[in-house]
Amino acid sequence: MKNEPCFALALHGGAGTITRASLTPEMDNAYRQALQQALSVGYQVLQQGGTSLAAVEATVVSLEDCPLFNAGRGSVFNKRGTHEMDAAIMDGKNLGAGAVTGVRNVRNPILLASQVLHHSDHVFLCQQGAEEFARNHGLSFEPDDYFFTQQRYDQWQALRDSDTYMLDHSSEAMDKKFGTVGAVALDLQGNLAAATSTGGMTNKNYNRIGDTPIIGAGTYANNRTCAISCTGHGEYFMRNVVAYDISCLMEYKGLSLSEASALVVHHKLKEQGGEGGLVAVDFNAEVAMPFNSEGMYRASWVSGQEPVVAIYEE
Amino acid sequence: MKNEPCFALALHGGAGTITRASLTPEMDNAYRQALQQALSVGYQVLQQGGTSLAAVEATVVSLEDCPLFNAGRGSVFNKRGTHEMDAAIMDGKNLGAGAVTGVRNVRNPILLASQVLHHSDHVFLCQQGAEEFARNHGLSFEPDDYFFTQQRYDQWQALRDSDTYMLDHSSEAMDKKFGTVGAVALDLQGNLAAATSTGGMTNKNYNRIGDTPIIGAGTYANNRTCAISCTGHGEYFMRNVVAYDISCLMEYKGLSLSEASALVVHHKLKEQGGEGGLVAVDFNAEVAMPFNSEGMYRASWVSGQEPVVAIYEE
């Protein structure tokens, strides 16, 4: 079947200490439904002959619009009680890339990153400048209310007067979860693309930028190798240039996607204490979704196969 | 002599269309003196047994304090007539990294990046958050006057009502120069480090972030391979993850530093139209300073050899 034209999509909704015990059956079900929904949206784009770029964009929009995930609508509160979001998208066909950091009130940061990719001389725009670009290019803005969720607010209230920050939407600061959403795809034309979006860390300070919008760290796509979207403790992913490392291990060392991504996630990152995971797809429609945390919200669908939706370790 | 403990330093002050015809003898001499001065500062640190991290920091401070280069004091004017600076530093011993983007009025952005490396849980801080971190850690601030240079102001005046931006301190928008400073070093303990700093692009808009503060793109160091500081058209350096690409070509494909850096600068980047260059040193004190533009302000000094200071193509 390998010679048949095929397409593939994989996505994540964050990684961390997500165990069966920590999710009620209702929450477990709600997450699975949201993952399935986002998967179907992207799969349809690919099935109808759409580009991998359009598929990852549509998938991430679906995840951004769902309040369960820390991106777009469900973004966490920062130190000042507002929402600052990051996103990046990359086209494996020509290495085109667009990224934004610290944007507020933009409904879908991934659509802004996509506009930067298509309509800017630049790759990476920041804060007010990125918002000005968004207004000049007709992106939808939402009031603060749109981004309000009681759970996120309660998390922030528990931390706001401390110097503690939370890596994600856990109710306990020490209970690490890494709130990010992302998608990777291979389309019928053989083009790869990757997209990632995040609302950052609860109570984050100093306008910290994580790996999500960094091309090569949290997001990367290259038709010669693979497309990758990461989620995890961003500082480790940045210092290890994780996404591009996997691409290089394939291109320069001849490793398969699963070998390369397992080496990086289960050895390099793990030895340093760098918790998290990623979703990846290569030019051959091989999918890998390794993580070294207890769980990762994830899903994948390769044409001609059954869709996969999973949360915990197998 | 290879078995003797040795140390090495290389630095750059930007690349672009720098030809003998474009510099007066006085300017040529002024640039060479500034390069020599910065080289001596860093070399002394290494000679006295200091770390590569301290050497690249001191070298970049010297370049930031010189109004000839587009970093620190000599930073160009952005669209709003202010100065926004980026910097990054990386320790090849443990992959520690610190980076800042869009900071104003900080006298030495590289010292701020260094404070982030040493005293923050984070790698990358942005704008006001980075400035707040700087105040909390006792960094020196300077009034706008400190960053005023007549040449930069005249450049900005020529562009301010247009949508044009300049990649550097040229007097003609189409005459590309890439204003960045950077240094790489190997110390007597065998540790590598890299540091890069920039004042960005004249009349830049939308808070654009370039490759300088991106770990893996404009700045990277790893004791297993090399230390690299880039200067050039940042968008190409980001999409090609240039600094980490060279490290991977060495580690995974067995290329030498000069082979790897030449492949990336003279082939990969050149084929895409990505103009610029870089300075690099490996664990064996081999130095490479390739560029695909007409000139690059550069200097290097390997222990036991003569110092090199150069501007144009050989």
Residue A60: Cβ-neighbour burial (10 angstroms; 0-12, 13-18, 19+) = buried
Q: Which of A80, A100, A123 best probes binding to B when mutated, by most B CB atoms within 10 angstroms?
A: A123
DSSP state of A252: H
Segment B250-278 mean pLDDT = 97
Is A180 considered catalytic here? yes
* Range B185-208 average pLDDT: 90
B126 contacts in A (CB within 8 Å)?
101-102, 126-127, 206-209
Average pLDDT over residues A285-304: 96
pLDDT tens-place string over residues A108-161: 999 999 999 999 999 999 999 999 999 999 999 999 989 888 877 787 777 777
Measure CB to CB from residue A208 to each of B122, B205, B209 and give the nearest one.
B122
Average pLDDT of the residues in A239-265: 98
pLDDT of res. B176 = 57
Least-confidence region, from A3-7, A12-16, A38-42, B287-291: A3-7
Q: How confident is the model at residue B167 (pLDDT cuts 50, 70, 90)?
A: low
Contact at CB, B216 and A214, closer than 8 angstroms: yes
Q: Which of A247-251, B16-20, B124-128, B144-148 has the lowest mean pLDDT?
A: B16-20
pLDDT band at B77 (very low <50, low <70, confident <90, very high): confident
- Does any domain span residue B2? no
ipTM of the complex: 0.94
Q: What is the mean pLDDT of residues B137-155?
A: 88
Cα-flanking dihedrals φ and ψ of residue A101, to 5°? -140, 145
Q: Which chain B residues are closer than 8 Å to A274 by Cβ?
A: none
Are the beta carbons of B208 and B259 closer than 8 angstroms? Answer: no
CA separation for the pair A3, A212 (Å, rounded):
34
Looking at residue A266, what DSSP letter applies? I
Gap between the Cα atoms of B231 and B212, Å rounded: 8
Domain-located, residue A2: no
Minimal Cα distance from A243: which residue of B? B241
pLDDT of residue B212: 97
Check CB contact of A124 with chain B, cutoff 8 Å: yes
Q: What is the mean pLDDT of residues A290-294?
A: 95
Q: Which domain range does residue B200 map to?
A: 8-312
**Residue A97 is nearest to which of B128, B129, B238, comparing CB atoms?**
B238
Single-letter amino acid, residue B262: A
For residue A286, name the pLDDT band (cuts at 50, 70, 90).
very high
Smallest CA–CA distance from A268 into chain B, residue: B95
In a domain, A181, yes or no: yes
Mean pLDDT in residue range B144-166: 77
Which strand (E) or helix (H) includes residue A125?
Answer: strand A124-126
Maximum average pLDDT range among A271-280, B148-157, B167-176: A271-280
Q: How far apart are CA B173 and CA B165, in angstroms?
A: 7
Pick the closest to residue B140 from B64, B195, B213, B193 (CA basis).
B64
Pick the catalytic residue: A180, A198, A202, A225?
A180
Domain count, chain A: 1
Torsion angle in degrees (nearest 10) through CA of A178, A233, A40, A64: 60
A95 with B240: Cβ contact below 8 A: yes
Secondary structure letter of residue A166 according to DSSP: B
B24: which residues sit within 8 A by CB, 6+ positions away? none
Give the pLDDT band of residue B252 (cuts 50, 70, 90): very high
Q: What is the pLDDT of residues A55-86, one digit of tens each?
A: 999 999 999 999 999 999 988 877 777 889 99
Q: Contact A185/A193 with Cβ under 8 angstroms? A: yes
For position B87, what pLDDT does the model report?
98
Q: Is the pLDDT of residue A163 over 70?
A: no
3-state secondary structure of A248: helix
- Listed in order, strand segments (DSSP E) in B8-158 are 8-16, 85-91, 96-103, 124-126
Cβ-defined contact of A120 to B206 (cutoff 8 Å):
yes
User: Hey, which residues 47-76 in chain A have their CB within 8 Å of chain B?
Assistant: none
Largest CA distance in chain A: 59
pLDDT category of residue B173 using cuts at 50, 70 and 90: very low
| Chain B neighbors of A214, CB-CB under 8 A | 124, 214-216
Compute the distance between CA of residue B130 and CA of residue A90 in angstroms, rounded to an integer: 27
**Nearest CA-CA distance, residue A196 and chain B, Å:** 16
Among the ranges given (A46-60, A186-200, B24-38, B203-217), the one the predictor scored with the smallest mean pLDDT:
B203-217
Q: Do A122 and B206 touch (CB under 8 A)?
A: yes
Give residue A173's pLDDT: 42
What is the pLDDT, as a whole number, of residue A177?
Answer: 65
Is the model's pLDDT at B162 over the cut of 80? no
> In this structure, are residues B189 and B306 in contact, taking their beta carbons and an 8 Å threshold?
no
Q: What is the mean pLDDT of chain B?
A: 91
Of B96, B121, B209, the CB nearest to A124: B209
Residues 221-280 of A with CB under 8 A from B: 234-235, 238-241, 244-245, 248-249, 252-253, 272
Give yes or no for residue B117 having a pLDDT over 90. Answer: yes
Residue B223 lies in a domain: yes
User: pLDDT grade, residue B168 (50/70/90)?
Assistant: low
Mutual angle of helices B52-65 and B109-119, in 10-degree steps: 150
Does B196 reside within a domain?
yes
pLDDT greater than 60 at residue B172: no
Q: Could you read off the pLDDT of A5-37 as tens digits, one per residue?
A: 799 999 999 998 888 888 899 999 999 999 999
**A96: domain CATH number?**
3.60.20.30
Mean pLDDT on B42-61: 98
**Given pLDDT bands bounded at 50, 70 and 90, which one contains residue B175?**
very low
d(CA B246, CA B251): 9
Does residue B125 belong to the interface with chain A, where contact is any CB pair within 8 Å? yes
Query: Which residues, 6 or more positions from A99, have their beta carbon under 8 angstroms from its beta carbon?
Result: A86, A87, A88, A89, A113, A116, A123, A124, A125, A213, A214, A215, A219
pLDDT at A174 over 50: no
Residue type at position B103: V
Residue A197: predicted pLDDT = 98
Tell me the C-alpha distance between B88 and A179, whole Å.
26
Cβ contacts (< 8 Å) between A235 and chain B: which residues? Answer: 121-123
Are the beta carbons of A197 and A75 closer than 8 angstroms?
A: no
The arithmetic mean of pLDDT across residues A165-169, rounded, is 54
Residue B1 lies in a domain: no
Given B124, B217, B234, which is nearest A209 (Cβ)?
A: B124
| Amino acid A172: pLDDT | 44
Nearest-CA neighbor of A180 among A70, A18, A37, A289? A70
Answer yes or no: is pLDDT of A170 > 90: no
Q: Which residue of B has its CA nearest to A80?
A: B129
Mean pLDDT estimate for chain A: 91
The answer to whether A95 contacts chain B (CB < 8 Å) is yes
Per the rule left: phi > 0, alpha: psi between -120 and 50, beta: everything else, B34 is: alpha
Structure tokens at B309: 């200071």
Kindly indicate the confidence band of residue B16, based on its pLDDT and cuts at 50, 70 and 90.
confident
Active-site residue list of B? 180
pLDDT tier, A164 (very low <50, low <70, confident <90, very high otherwise): low
Distance CA(B127)–CA(A208), nearest Å, equals 10
Per the domain annotation, does B3 fall within a domain? no
Share of chain B above pLDDT 90, in %: 78
pLDDT at position A166, please? 60
Q: Are B72 and B199 in contact (CB under 8 A)?
A: yes
pLDDT band at residue A88 using 50, 70 and 90 as cut-offs = very high
If we measure between CA atoms, which residue out of B299, B272, B233, B245 comes closest to residue B15? B233
Mean pLDDT of A90-114: 97
| Residue B182 φ then ψ, to 5° | -165, 165
Q: Name the DSSP letter for residue A1.
A: -
Supply angle C-alpha B204, B209, B210, rounded to 5: 95
Rounded to 10 degrees, what is the CA torsion of A141, A135, A125, A56? Answer: 60
Per the CB < 8 A criterion, the answer to whether A197 and A106 are in contact is no
Q: Which residues contact A144 (CB under 8 A, 6 or more apart)?
A: A82, A83, A105
